[in-house]
Amino acid sequence: MSVPPDLSLLIPIHNEVENLGPLHRRLCEVLEATGETFEILMVDDGSLESIRELCRQDSRVRLIDLGGHFGQTPALAAGSRQARGEIVVTLDADLQNDPADIPRLLETYHQGFDVVSGWRRRRADCWLTRTLPSWLANLMLSRITGVRLHDFGCTLKACRRDLLVPAHFWGESHRFLPALLARQGARIAEIEVAHHPRRAGRSKYGLGRVFRFLADLAVLLFMERPDPPESPARNPLP
């Protein structure tokens, strides 16, 4: 496309072959109904041939091949640098994030926010290995950063590309993205989104991520602390 699209959908992918076809169909169905132009950036480290087939079928799909398994943070960093849309929408490839929530993210974004983050209020995950550690991590991050969100770890977000591209990423710091962008003065909102059970493939997360989170949190604590944002993140819903 010679003219930049309105939106760039940025999707980190690792071994999600069974989900890519249904995800692509659902994204096209939802976004074509909005009238927005869009591109779909699939950042791959394990599903290469399936993505290439989608690229042949749909010129709006672009492959970013990392050439190895590096994790979600490098995938998001690499994808954001190649995104062409003014707004970057990030989501997981496992169909637990619902594409039907994207129009609501965009509606809130256009109310004057720079980042709109999803809140998986009713999570379809194992309570011990996913929901409980996530709740504790969100509580810690809210208190440490002053950015009051219920769900820092939800991949489904809409962000201004010009804020996302220069963001400083390390380790698995994609979990801290709203806090990192708030340091740049971003106005943050959070809305409730759906969360579905995984239907195919395997989860990439377990209790081991707790130790990686603590290591990355230590880096965040040692980073230079800017002046606090003028206002905390807020939920635009009544």
In the prediction, which pLDDT does 234 show? Answer: 62
In the prediction, which pLDDT does 193 show? Answer: 96
Token pair belonging to 61: 């799909």
CA angle (205 as vertex; 189, 81 as ends), nearest 5:
55
Q: CA–CA separation, 139 vs 133, rounded Å? A: 10
CATH 3.90.550.10 fits 7-222, yes or no: yes
Give counts: helices (H), strands (E), the chain: 8, 7
Each residue's pLDDT tens digit in the chain (238 positions)? 578 999 999 999 988 889 999 999 999 999 999 999 999 999 986 557 889 999 999 999 999 998 877 888 888 989 999 999 999 999 999 999 999 999 999 999 999 999 999 999 888 767 666 677 778 888 888 888 889 899 998 999 999 999 988 777 766 777 888 988 988 899 999 999 999 887 765 655 555 566 666 666 666 667 655 444 444 556 665 4
DSSP line for 74-114: HHHHHHHHH--SSEEEE--SSS-S-GGGHHHHHHHHTTT-S
Q: CA–CA separation, 81 vs 203, rounded Å? A: 27
Nearest C-alpha neighbor of 183 from the set 167, 172, 171, 169: 167
Beta bridge partners of 123: none
List Cα–Cα distances, 3 to 90, 103, 135, in angstroms.
21, 22, 42
Domain boundaries, the chain: 7-222
In the prediction, which pLDDT does 205 show? Answer: 56
DSSP line for 205-232: --TTHHHHHHHHHHHHHHSPP-PPPSS-
In the prediction, which pLDDT does 68 show? Answer: 78
In the prediction, which pLDDT does 146 show? Answer: 85
The 38-44 sheet, strands edge to edge:
61-65, 38-44, 7-13, 87-90, 157-160, 115-119, 188-192
In the prediction, which pLDDT does 66 show? Answer: 86
